[in-house]
C-alpha cells in the first residue's frame, strides 16, 4: 500500500475529548440503578452508541477538513458544551423516564444540538472550500439524524424501546450507503478524503480514555486497603487487555496506508462498548445484588473486546497479517479463559488470576507468531535498544 502522510491530531481535538471523558464517567455511574432489566440494558447500550456517534462524526470532520481556522475552534468548543450537558442527562431508570419526560426532552434536544453543530461545521467549511459531494452528503445525513429525533424531543413520540432504534441510525446509515448499489459513489464520498494515520490515532486516544474509566472503577471498587488481592489481580488483568490493544494498534498495524477506515471505526465501536460494559461489570461484581449480572457483563465484554481488537488486524502490516493458526490459538485461550471466569464466578481472586493468565498466553502467542513471521520472511528482529515500541 502507498504511504499516506500523517495528519497531526490538534490540541482542540484533545480538548474536545475532555467532554467525552465526562460522558464516559456519567455513562457508567448512571447505570447503577436499582432494577436492571432488558430495557435498562438496551438504554445503556444505546447511550454508548450515541456517544460514539457524536465522537465519530466530529472525528470524521476534523480528519477531512479540520484546521486552525476560527470556525473549527469556536464550533468544537460549542459542541463540548452540548456534549457535557447531554452527559448530565444520562438516566437509565426506564420507569423514571416514562414518568418524567422532561429528562427525555432535554437529552434529545442536546443530541439534536450536537448533530446540528457538526452540520454547521461542514456548512461553514463548505463556504470556505466549496461544497463538494462529501460535505453535501455529510450535512444531509446530519440533518436527517436531527429530523428523526424531533418527534421524541418535542414529546410527539413517547420514550420506548422502539425509540432506541433511532439512536443506532447514525452508526448504520453510512455503512448501508457504503454497501448499497451506489458503492462507487460511496467510495468517492467516504474513502478518499480520509487520513488513515490521523483516524488511527484518534481511535487510540478514545480507547485510552475509555480504559481510564476502567482504571478508576477498578481502583475505587477494589481498593488495596480493603480488597488487596482482588484489587491487584483485577487491575493487572485489566491492564493486560490494554497491553494487547496497544501491541496490536502500535506494532502490528501499518500506520501509513491509504484505505477505507470504516472497518477501523466499527471495530473500535466494539472495543469501546465492550470496555464500558467491562467497567460496569467490574463494579457490579462487587455488589451482591448485581453480582451475577456483573460476571455476565465481564465475560461477554472480554470476549467482545478481543474480537474488536482482532478485527483491526485487517490493517496489519503484510508480515503481521493473522492466519487461521494464530486465530485458533487466540480463540482457544479465550474459550478456556471464559469458562474459567464462569466456573470461578463467586471467587473474584480466581477470576482475576484467570484473566491475567489468559492475557499472558494470548500475548505470548502473538509475540511468538511475530518472531516466526520475521524469520520466515528473513526480516531482522527489532533491537529493543533501538526500537522501544516493538516489545516482541
Express each pLDDT in 175-198 by its tens digit. Answer: 777 665 455 555 554 445 678 999
Q: Are residues 270 and 326 in the same domain?
A: yes
The residues of the chain scoring below 50 in pLDDT are: 1-2, 181, 189-191, 391-392
Q: Are residues 225 and 158 in the same domain?
A: no
Q: Are residues 282 and 392 in the same domain?
A: yes
Question: Which residue, of 194, 226, 243, is where some domain finishes?
Answer: 194
**Total domains in the fold of the chain:** 2
Please give the pLDDT value at position 387: 61
Domain, as residue range, for 184: 1-194
Question: Which residue, of 163, 194, 225, is where some domain finishes?
Answer: 194
Helix 228-246 to helix 196-221 angle, to the nearest 10 degrees? Answer: 180
Q: Are residues 126 and 1 in the same domain?
A: yes
Express each pLDDT in 97-149 by its tens digit. Answer: 877 788 889 999 999 999 999 999 999 999 998 998 889 989 999 999 999 99
CA 219/CA 362 separation, integer angstroms: 25
Q: Are residues 117 and 223 in the same domain?
A: no
- Cα–Cα nearest to 341, from 278, 287, 385: 278
Question: Which residue, of 194, 209, 241, is where some domain finishes?
Answer: 194
Per cent of the chain over pLDDT 90 is 69
Biggest CA pair distance of the chain: 67
Amino acid at each position: 500500500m502507498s504511504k499516506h502522510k500523517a495528519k497531526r491530531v490538534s490540541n482542540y481535538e484533545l480538548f474536545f475529548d475532555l467532554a467525552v471523558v465526562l460522558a464516559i464517567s456519567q455513562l457508567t455511574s448512571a447505570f447503577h440503578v436499582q432494577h436492571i432489566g432488558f430495557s435498562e440494558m438496551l438504554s445503556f447500550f444505546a447511550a454508548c452508541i450515541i456517544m460514539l456517534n457524536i465522537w465519530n462524526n466530529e472525528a470524521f470532520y476534523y480528519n477531512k477538513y479540520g484546521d486552525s481556522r476560527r470556525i473549527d475552534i469556536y464550533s468544537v468548543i460549542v459542541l463540548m458544551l452540548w456534549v457535557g450537558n447531554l452527559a448530565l442527562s444520562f438516566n437509565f431508570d426506564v420507569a423514571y423516564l416514562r414518568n418524567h419526560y422532561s429528562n427525555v426532552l432535554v437529552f434529545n434536544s442536546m443530541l439534536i444540538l450536537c448533530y446540528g453543530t457538526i452540520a454547521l461545521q461542514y456548512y461553514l467549511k463548505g463556504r470556505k472550500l466549496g461544497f463538494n459531494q462529501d460535505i453535501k452528503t455529510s450535512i444531509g445525513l446530519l440533518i436527517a439524524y436531527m429530523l428523526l429525533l424531533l418527534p421524541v424531543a418535542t414529546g410527539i413520540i413517547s420514550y420506548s424501546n422502539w425509540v432506541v432504534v433511532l439512536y443506532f441510525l447514525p452508526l448504520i446509515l453510512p455503512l448501508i450507503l457504503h454497501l448499497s448499489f451506489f458503492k462507487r459513489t460511496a467510495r468517492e464520498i467516504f474513502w478518499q478524503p480520509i487520513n488513515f494515520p490521523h483516524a488511527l490515532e484518534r481511535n487510540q486516544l478514545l480507547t485510552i480514555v475509555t480504559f481510564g474509566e476502567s482504571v478508576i472503577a477498578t481502583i475505587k471498587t477494589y481498593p488495596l486497603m480493603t480488597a488487596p488481592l482482588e484489587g491487584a489481580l483485577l487491575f493487572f488483568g485489566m491492564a493486560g487487555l490494554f497491553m494487547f490493544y496497544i501491541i496490536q494498534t502500535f506494532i502490528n498495524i501499518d500506520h501509513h496506508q491509504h484505505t477505507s477506515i470504516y472497518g477501523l471505526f466499527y471495530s473500535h465501536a466494539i472495543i469501546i462498548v465492550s470496555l464500558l460494559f467491562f467497567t460496569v461489570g467490574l463494579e457490579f461484581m462487587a455488589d451482591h445484588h448485581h453480582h451475577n449480572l456483573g460476571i455476565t457483563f465481564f465475560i461477554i465484554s472480554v470476549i467482545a473486546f478481543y474480537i474488536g481488537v482482532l478485527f483491526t488486524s485487517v490493517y496489519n502490516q503484510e508480515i503481521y497479517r493473522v492466519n487461521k493458526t494464530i486465530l485458533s490459538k487466540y480463540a482457544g485461550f479465550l474459550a478456556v479463559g471464559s469458562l474459567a471466569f464462569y466456573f470461578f464466578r463467586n471467587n473474584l481472586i480466581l477470576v482475576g488470576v484467570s484473566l491475567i493468565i489468559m492475557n499472558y498466553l494470548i500475548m505470548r502467542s502473538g509475540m511468538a507468531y511475530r518472531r516466526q513471521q520475521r524469520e520466515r520472511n528473513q526480516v531482522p528482529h527489532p533491537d529493543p535498544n533501538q526500537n522501544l515500541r516493538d516489545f516482541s
